[in-house]
A = this chain, B = another copy of it.
Amino acid sequence: MEERSQADRRADLYEQLARIGKVVVHPKRVELLDLLCQAERSVEALAEAAGLKLTTASAHLQVMRQARLVETRREGTRVYYRAAGEEVCRFVTALGDLGRARLAEVDQILRAIGAGSDSAERVTRAELLERARSGDVVVLDVRPAEEYAAGHIPGAISLPLEHLEARLGELDPGLEVVAYCRGPLCLLAPEAVATLRARGLRARCLEDGLPEWRQAGLPVATDPADRSGRDIPARTPADGHEARPDRRR
Residues of A in contact with B (beta carbons under 8 Å apart): 6-7, 9-28, 30-31, 34, 51, 67-69, 84-85, 87-88, 90-91, 94-106, 109-110, 112-113, 119, 184-185, 187, 207-208, 241-242, 244, 246-249
Contact = CB atoms under 8 A, between A and B. Distances in A.
B27 A17 contact: yes
A55 B103 CA distance: 26
11 contacts: A9-B109, A13-B109, A21-B30, A24-B25, A67-B103, A68-B102, A84-B102, A85-B102, A87-B98, A241-B247, A244-B244
A30 B17 contact: yes
A102 B85 CA distance: 8
A85 B96 CA distance: 15
A237 B90 CA distance: 25
B21 A95 contact: yes
Nearest to A86: B101
A148 to B, nearest CB: 20
Contacts of A244: 241, 244
Contacts of A30: 14, 17-18, 21
Nearest to A14: B27
A118 to B, nearest CB: 13
Given A11-B27, A14-B28, A97-B87, A21 B19 contact: no
